[in-house]
Chain A
Amino acid sequence: MFPNGAAPRRVVVTGMGIASPLGLGVEHVWKRLLAGESGISAIQAFDVTELPAKIAGQVPAGTKATGGLDLNEWIPVKDQKKMDRFIQLALVAAAEAVEDSGWLPEEEEDRAATGVMIGSGIGGLTTIYDASQLVASGRARRLSPFFIPSALINLASGHVSIRYGFKGPNHSVVTACATGVHALGDAARLIAFGDAEVMVAGGAEAAVCELGMAGFCASRALSTAFNDTPEAASRPWSEDRDGFVMGEGAGVCVLEEYEHAKNRGAKIYAEVIGYGMSGDAHHITAPPEDGSGAFRSMRAALRSAGVAPEQVQYVNAHGTSTFADDVELGAVERLWGDAASGLAMSSTKSAIGHLLGAAGAVEGIFSILAIRDQVAPPTLNLDRPSRETPIDRVAKVAQERKIKVALSNSFGFGGTNASIVFRAVP
């Protein structure tokens, strides 16, 4: 598979962008995350009377200057109606990441060497809901010609490529809540294999809508006991956790072949050194109690990174605030063994909720920033854990720590697991 029998090439991160419930912009969001702020709030965009879960992590309105979202600052008004919100959020995060990387090629050859792989767990759910109502009311002929391209998941990658002229591989991942990690990992492998020099990769999600909320409520996945105290609802590993909190947003990284980045003098945040995947082959929504899927995913990632567990100082957990938190914890304890006591592991979903297909990309960025700034972001609301562990779960307050290597986990419905490993580049 490798051209001319060459070895895999090194891949580094040279740009990052975030749209999240803690706002827009990597530095703004990171600062708020480290300060222990929460992005979870009551849903006001639609009527939640009939829904048992009435809160979510929503991208706040505002302006670039205030770290909030005003779509008109990012996307021409006439184009906004051609894309679902998940695509809009992808464009916002991609714009930040691409600008940050300084990679805006004009040459045809450079553009052809730059690809896009932005995925989503669900895609244009609001668009599908609205269109269905139109058709159901006998008005099929009034359906917008932009309905299909607005709802399709790979149109996030499509729009980013069109905006910047990136003519390399154009791909998209759809693996539920593992999407973000799969996108970063798969895109890194495309670069390692020589299919592209640069990949704009990540995930986007905008399922905080009537249908999305009702759907996850129906599968009994969401927290319902903290509607009056939204910031306390996402409480990974807590004794009284009762489900995840829906979140929306997007995370996008610019991944780049190491020499390519060095030659153009790009700022390098971290290197992608490992990537692992597994399938549970167990149940459509629940992991096996023994955490074997998570275990094998992390083990594969560490093997591909060529590092031992004791060389990893930080894990950004999948930790959704459900029963599965302790399943993941058990898997980490078994894999790290005696080294578990030296490990910090936090769930940043405690602050932003579960961004589904965007989660892995946003949390990957948090893991990279943990390496850059030598600090582990906190797990909010962790007063009374359901069980003890030698692992430091960074309860409530961020911790300065020596972090050279970090691993981020994302697991999805269908029993799909993915782990990615980053390290500092000296």
Chain B
Amino acid sequence: MSETAEKVKKIVVEHLGVDEAKVTEDASFIDDLGADSLDTVELVMAFEEAFGVEIPDDAAEKITTVKDAIAYIESQKG
């Protein structure tokens, strides 16, 4: 697992209070991990803070799974 993936999963576990095993790359924040729309806003902010990237609203809307988040962050760090 990449360093980014590990960090993303750790943030998801902390913010959503879910079991680490449930945070697979395909897991959807809302459908699988019990997040609501405000949770996902906060989650994106946490990613921004942790990785020093900026995620504009239109990009944030498309980040619905763990995999989406990892891919977006890696593309920005590029």
Q: Is the A/B pair a real complex?
A: yes
A contacts, CB < 8 Å to B: 76-79, 82, 142, 144-146, 149
Closest to A76 in B: B17
Q: Is the CB of B42 within 8 A of A142?
A: no
Shortest B18–chain A CB gap in Å is: 8
Question: Residue B22 at the A interface, CB < 8 A?
Answer: no
A-B contact pairs, 18 of them (CB 8 A): A76-B17, A77-B17, A78-B15, A78-B16, A78-B17, A79-B17, A82-B38, A142-B45, A142-B49, A144-B42, A144-B45, A145-B38, A145-B41, A145-B42, A145-B45, A146-B38, A146-B42, A149-B38
* Chain B residues, CB < 8 A from A78: 15-17
B35 closest partner in A (C-beta): A78
- The size bracket of the interface on B is under 10
List 11 additional A-B contacts (Cβ < 8 Å) besides A78-B17, A146-B38. A76-B17, A78-B16, A79-B17, A82-B38, A142-B45, A142-B49, A144-B42, A144-B45, A145-B42, A145-B45, A146-B42
B39 to chain A, nearest CB (A): 8
Whole-angstrom CA separation of A236 from B49 in the bound complex: 50
**Minimum CB distance partner of A143 in chain B:** B45
Bound CA span A142–B17, Å: 21
Minimum CB distance partner of B34 in chain A = A78
Taking the closest CB of chain A, its distance from the CB of B48, in whole angstroms, is 8
> In the complex, what distance in Å separates the CA atom of A78 from the CA atom of B49?
18
**Smallest Cβ-Cβ distance to B40: which chain A residue:** A145
Give complex CA distance A108, B48 in Å: 43
CB nearest neighbor in B for A144: B42
Smallest CB gap from B42: residue in A? A145
> Which residues from A are CB-within-8-Å of B38?
82, 145-146, 149
A144: chain B residues at CB < 8 Å are 42, 45
10 smallest A-B Cβ distances: which pairs? A78-B17, A145-B41, A145-B38, A145-B42, A77-B17, A76-B17, A78-B16, A144-B42, A146-B38, A142-B45
CB distance from B24 to the nearest CB of A (A): 19
Q: Which residues of A contact B16 (CB under 8 A)?
A: 78
Per the bound structure, the CA–CA distance linking A188 and B17 in Å amounts to 38
Q: Shortest beta-carbon distance, A137 to chain B, in Å? A: 14
Most A Cβ at <10 Å: residue of B15, B16, B38: B38
- B14 — nearest CB in chain A belongs to which residue? A78
**Which B residues, 16 to 45, have Cβ-Cβ distances below 8 Å to chain A?**
16-17, 38, 41-42, 45
CA gap between A146 and B40 in the complex, in Å: 11
Question: What chain A residues lie within 8 Å of B49 (beta carbons)?
Answer: 142
Docked Cα-Cα span, A146 to B17, in Å, equals 16
Chain B neighbourhood of A146, CB < 8 A: 38, 42
> Hey, which chain B residues are within 8 Å of A76, CB to CB?
17
**A residues near B17, Cβ cutoff 8 Å:** 76-79
Q: Which residues of B contact A79 (CB under 8 A)?
A: 17
Nearest CB on B from A138, distance (A): 15
CA distance in complex: A145, B35 (Å): 13
Q: Nearest Cβ distance between residue B63 and chain A, in whole angstroms? A: 15
Chain B residues closer than 8 Å to A82, beta-carbon distance? 38
Bound-state Cα–Cα, A79 to B42, Å = 13
A3 CB → nearest B CB, Å: 38
Contacts of B42 in A (CB 8 A): 144-146
Docked complex Cα distance between A145 and B45 (Å): 9
Q: CA of A144 to CA of B45 in the docked complex: distance in angstroms? A: 8
Q: Which residues of B contact A145 (CB under 8 A)?
A: 38, 41-42, 45
Using CB atoms, name the residue of chain A closest to B54: A141
Q: A77 to nearest B CB, angstroms?
A: 5
Q: Provide the bound-state CA to CA distance between A144 and B16, in Å.
A: 14
List the B side residues contacting A77 at CB < 8 Å.
17
Instruction: Report the separation of the CA atoms of residues A79 and B34 in the bound assembly, to the nearest whole angstrom.
Output: 12
Chain A residues with CB under 8 Å of B45's CB are 142, 144-145
Tell me the nearest residue of chain B to A80, going by C-beta: B17
A77 to B15 CA separation, bound complex (whole angstroms): 9
Cβ of A66 to closest chain B Cβ, rounded Å: 25
Complex: chain A residue closest to B15, CB-CB: A78
A82-B15 Cα distance, complex, nearest whole Å: 11
Residues of A within 8 A of B41 (CB): 145
How many angstroms between the C-alpha atoms of A145 and B41 in the bound complex?
Answer: 7
User: Shortest Cβ distance from B55 into chain A, in angstroms?
Assistant: 11
Min distance, Cβ B12 to any Cβ of chain A, angstroms: 11
User: In the bound complex, how far is the Cα of B42 from the Cα of A346, in angstroms?
Assistant: 48
**In this complex, what residue of A is CB-closest to B49?**
A142
Inter-chain CA distance A200–B17, complex, in Å, is 29
Cα distance A79–B17 when bound, in Å?
9
CA A82 to CA B38, docked complex, whole Å: 10
